[in-house]
Amino acid sequence: MTRIEQVSRRGFLESLFSAGALVIGASTEALAAPDADRAAWTPSVYLGLESDGAVIVVAHRSEMGTGIRSVLPMLLADELGADWSKVQVQQAIGDEKYGSQNTDGSCSIRDFYDAVREAGATARTMLEGAAAARWGARAADCKAAGHVVTHTPTGRKLGFGELVAAAKQQPVPAKGSLKFRPESEYRYIGKDTPTIDRDGLCMGKGTFGMDAKVPGMVYASIERSPVYGGTVRSHDDAGTLKVRGVQRTAVIPRFKEPQVFQQLGGVAVIADNTWSALQGRKKLKVDWDPGPNAGFGSDAYKLQLFDAVRKPGKVVRNVGDVDAAFAKSAQVIEALYYVPMLAHAPMEPPAAVAEFKDGKVTAWAATQNPQAVQDAVSSALGIAKKDVVCHVTLLGGGFGRKSKPDYVVEAALLSKQVGKPVKVVWSREDDVRFDYFHAVAAMSMKAGLGADGRPTAWLHRSAFPTIGSTFDSSATHGQEFEMGMGWVDLPYDIPNHRAENGAAKNHVRIGWMRAVANIYHAFAIHSFVDELAVAAKRDQVSYILDLIGASRNVVPKVEGMNYWNNTQPLDKFPIDTGRLRRVVEVAAEKSGWANRKSGGGRGWGIAAHRSFLSYVAAVVEVEVDNKGRVTIPNMHIVADAGKIMSPDRVHAQFEGAGVFGTSIAMLGEITAANGRIQQSNFHDYQVARIHQVPKQTHVHVIPSTERPAGVGEPGVPPIAPAICNAIFAATGKRYRELPLKKQGLS
């Protein structure tokens, strides 16, 4: 096993200030494949038990601050009856035996809630059966808890380790016969149990992608085409090779259509260390053929998108007779909305180490999806998927960027070329300029109001470059999953409504980002609802509740496609307007909506949205001074996400969503001119600073017995429209385009 060495941040600082010479070289044990499958007993791919009582739980999802590599193992341990202090959690390598490892889409708990409970319940049942056989007792009288099995009538106890050999011989219970532990017996789930990484991270001991290091490794920094799809005509590396520490340069070929997760291509500078690679890259001279996207400019593209939504598009949902209803409307309201391109910009840019040896690749990467690494690397190098091993480090943020492993492919290709392990390090500038960008979008909204101010007709159109273009270069319309993110699943009780989608060609890489298409769809819909409430001279909360209507399950009848519903069947996760009503009502109650007074530079706004099977409402208070400076004294976020596994982690996710959504509303924008991305770092692609985030974020989680739903993403969509609605309430000025900094607000 190749050894990985890590110099901790804390250790580095200590060495700087210690007496004597600076010594760098603290090492940690290797990031190794989990050995649960080599334990004395392995009742599940996620679980191993040893005769000394050790319980090994495999975390098959990636950790990027959500706590998932603690919460899923914790759920298994609780169902098993293990003592959490005696549980070893091991990070899984990429392997299809674990099921999906794509830590994306707010689905880790939802998709594996049953699987890990079954693993724990199966092992518990077999341990209890082994104890019963040892004592000649009834299995029903034997109970596993606290790492022991107790015979309840007599109080006799046997530790898990003592029972491993016998439990292994017990018949495996059928799924249908499993009895799950009542939630009242859970010791960790539903409680604020610390994550396994907390203490280590606080002491600077976490191993991230940037920390990975193997013996003999070289470093690479890659000069890529400034225009998407460009190729190298020629390059001059004479100046580069004079930089101390630079070993050589290497050309990486351009990707082949469709792009998927391939390398972009370019010229890599190979060096002894990152600094030398970066300095050598500055001396590199490359002549580019920019290719077909050299004329792409965001200003002209914006106009194209607006043109697309001003005319009929592809009908994706049609209810009633919209045109006839518009003809009879007492009043017609129309508005255009716009959300620019966005970058993921996680705190840790992409980084990976790869070693090609004997026809196989071993990689260490900050990745959200090690199985995608296997697929992409095996395809790029022409080797079998089983010959790609991907070890998963901690991720310094992800937001969807790190489920796209192009940076790992780069490292693998270079390792094969240079014959050494290669660490590819992306700079912040690389990260911003060569992202899989969140799509720019334009939306047209139109509603016909009756005499009571309620919509009798509703038409909305959207146009955006689709994520589908990453996988099919000819794709120009939204995919089923994009249309299913707040567009075809309108939850309002409107008798006549139609949803359309216009064509838009991509000119950059397009990828999913936290909340995906819900970001622009929610912004348009919930901003527009606020406009309708004002036109109807109605209170916004009562108007929203009126639009939602009576509690019922909505079944979207979409045109020519399936309704996506986050991959889940509607009978299992229905669109329940009663739950949407409830988060609106609680948000109004908790924020004191009935007593708020807007105007004179102070205002309140509300928005409520269903995404990732969860229901979230946000009420935002803003203050706007006469210079256009915006502060957010209070933000209330109310969520119904079904059963909650870890309250502290859930609160943290929604608090983070408040900051993320504020950044989108106020600051986020990626632009292009002559095919080149114009932003490069946090000075010109800003995220909210401490003075710009909400002063107080109040998270209210509604207790629920419903199945667990998404948590990481659904807090984001309602934030931007709630902020804009609040600014209108404060100033009387309506903002329909983001970011607000471009509209003169700061």
Cα 45 vs. chain centroid, distance in angstroms? 25
Cα 591 vs. chain centroid, distance in angstroms? 28
Q: 363 φ, ψ to 5°?
A: -125, 150
Tell me the CA end-to-end span of the chain in Å, nearest whole number: 52
Residue 97: CB atoms within 10 Å: 9
- In-domain check, residue 476: yes
Task: Please identify, among 400, 425, 450, the residue that sits at the C-terminal boundary of a domain.
Answer: 425
Q: Is the peptide bond before 258 cis (omega within 30 degrees of 0)?
A: yes
Number of domains in the chain: 4
Whether 360 contacts 421, CB under 8 Å: no
By the 10 Å C-beta count (0-12 exposed, 13-18 middle, 19+ buried), 422 is classed as buried
Whether 523 contacts 451, CB under 8 Å: no
pLDDT beyond 50 at 3? no
Query: 218-223 and 422-425: which strand pairing?
Result: parallel
Q: How far apart are CA 581 and CA 55, in angstroms?
A: 44
Q: How far apart are CA 200 and CA 718, in angstroms?
A: 34
Amino acid at 180: F
Read off the pLDDT of each residue in 493-501 and give the average, rounded to a whole number. Answer: 98
Cα torsion through 299, 300, 306, 308, rounded to 10: -150
Nearest to 35 by CA among 25, 23, 20, 45: 45
Per DSSP, 526 falls in state H
Q: How far apart are CA 163 and CA 151, in angstroms?
A: 13
Q: What confidence tens digit (pLDDT) does each residue in 699-738 have?
A: 999 999 999 999 999 999 999 999 999 999 999 999 999 9
Q: How far apart are CA 340 and CA 437, in angstroms?
A: 10
Which position has the token pair 């739903």? 709
> Same domain, yes or no, for 281 and 304?
no
Which segments of 429-566 are extended strands (E)? 441-449, 455-463, 497-502, 553-554
Q: Average pLDDT over the chain, rounded to whole?
A: 95
Per DSSP, 341 falls in state B
Q: How far apart are CA 10 and CA 28, in angstroms?
A: 14
pLDDT beyond 90 at 324? yes
> Same domain, yes or no, for 146 and 282?
no
Nearest to 195 by CA among 640, 514, 645, 660: 645
> Same domain, yes or no, for 454 and 524?
yes
**Neighbouring residues of 274: CB distance < 8 A, sequence distance ≥ 6:** 219, 221, 423, 425
Nearest to 166 by CA among 129, 200, 208: 129
pLDDT beyond 50 at 22? no
Per-residue pLDDT band for 19 (boundaries 50, 70, 90) equals very low
Per-residue pLDDT band for 1 (boundaries 50, 70, 90) equals very low
pLDDT beyond 80 at 12? no
> Same domain, yes or no, for 42 and 158?
yes
Amino acid at 716: V
Cα torsion through 216, 214, 100, 435, rounded to 10: -70
Q: How far apart are CA 525 and CA 462, in angstroms?
A: 11
H or E, element range at 123? helix 108-135
- In-domain check, residue 198: no
Q: What confidence tens digit (pLDDT) does each residue in 632-642 have?
A: 999 999 999 99
Nearest to 726 by CA among 640, 621, 626, 628: 621
> Same domain, yes or no, for 573 and 642?
yes
CA atoms within 13 A on the CB side of 91: 28
By the 10 Å C-beta count (0-12 exposed, 13-18 middle, 19+ buried), 1 is classed as exposed
The pLDDT score that the predictor gives to residue 270 is 98
Sign of CA dihedral 548, 552, 553, 558: negative
- In-domain check, residue 202: no
- In-domain check, residue 169: yes
Cα dist from 657 to 195, 514, 515, whole Å: 20, 9, 10
- In-domain check, residue 210: no
- Report the phi/psi class of residue 254: left, alpha or beta, with left for phi > 0 and alpha for psi in -120 to 50: beta
- In-domain check, residue 204: no
The pLDDT score that the predictor gives to residue 32 is 78
- In-domain check, residue 199: no
Cα 172 vs. chain centroid, distance in angstroms? 36
Which position has the token pair 């319309």? 477
> Same domain, yes or no, for 174 and 308?
no
By the 10 Å C-beta count (0-12 exposed, 13-18 middle, 19+ buried), 257 is classed as exposed
Q: What percent of the chain is predicted at pLDDT more than 90?
A: 95
Q: How far apart are CA 387 and CA 37, in angstroms?
A: 19
Per the structure block, which two tokens stand in for 724? 């804009």
Cα 733 vs. chain centroid, distance in angstroms? 33
Nearest to 435 by CA among 505, 345, 348: 345
> Same domain, yes or no, for 322 and 263?
no
pLDDT beyond 90 at 30? no
Task: Please identify, among 391, 425, 459, the residue that sits at the C-terminal boundary of a domain.
Answer: 425
The pLDDT score that the predictor gives to residue 332 is 98
Q: What confidence tens digit (pLDDT) does each residue in 388-440 have?
A: 999 999 999 999 999 999 999 999 999 999 999 999 999 999 999 999 999 99
> Same domain, yes or no, for 275 and 306?
no
CATH number at residue 706: 3.30.365.10
Per DSSP, 293 falls in state G
Q: Is the peptide bond before 739 cis (omega within 30 degrees of 0)?
A: yes
Whether 400 contacts 105, CB under 8 Å: no
pLDDT beyond 50 at 654? yes
> Same domain, yes or no, for 491 and 559?
yes
Per the structure block, which two tokens stand in for 692? 């710009």
pTM (2 d.p.): 0.95
Q: How far apart are CA 298 and CA 739, in angstroms?
A: 14
Q: Please, which residues bridge with residue 391 across strands?
A: 364
Taken as a whole, the chain contains a residue count of 746
**Neighbouring residues of 21: CB distance < 8 A, sequence distance ≥ 6:** none
Q: How far apart are CA 107 and CA 516, in angstroms?
A: 14
Q: How far apart are CA 345 and CA 550, in angstroms?
A: 41
- In-domain check, residue 192: no
Cα dist from 395 to 246, 256, 312, 365, 712, whole Å: 28, 28, 43, 9, 15
Task: Please identify, among 187, 206, 231, the residue that sits at the C-terminal boundary of a domain.
Answer: 187
> Same domain, yes or no, for 484 and 508?
yes
Read off the pLDDT of each residue in 39-48 and give the average, rounded to a whole number. Answer: 98
What SS3 class is residue 462? strand
Whether 408 contacts 262, CB under 8 Å: no
Per the structure block, which two tokens stand in for 475? 């794709």
> Same domain, yes or no, for 324 and 357?
no
Whether 326 contacts 384, CB under 8 Å: no
Question: For residue 19, what are the domain limits?
Answer: 1-30
> Same domain, yes or no, for 611 and 715?
yes
Per-residue pLDDT band for 33 (boundaries 50, 70, 90) equals confident
pLDDT beyond 90 at 15? no
